[in-house]
Structure 1
């Protein structure tokens, strides 16, 4: 997309594209014309690309950093 934020552009081929951003999110959106017999239905169906999640860290890095823990017996056993 471009460096613009918070905009919607209506394209020549009956689609739209744009960007919605705030401090908490930055979403690229796009849409296509929506045909419906309902007069109150939206004119466009909107889609957003989900921002990439940061890679999930597994527990190995925690196990390497923590000292080895001794497993204590359960008091009721």
Structure 2
């Protein structure tokens, strides 16, 4: 009986160590993902600003062109 209890204790310790390693791995993975998402958010913000700027510039150019055309006719 004592041998069985010892075997169960050893297995339980191994399982606990495995769970601890998994917890650390998941924590590391979350930290890495957070860092990458922050970088992606910065890129998206810059691209969004460029896109809005291009759209506004195009709108102003079209309005200027239409105003010029209206004065010709």
TM bucket (normalised to shorter chain) is under 0.3
Q: TM-score, normalised by structure 2?
A: 0.26
Q: Which has the higher helix share?
A: 2
- TM-score, normalization: structure 1? 0.25
Tell me which structure has the larger Cα radius of gyration: 2
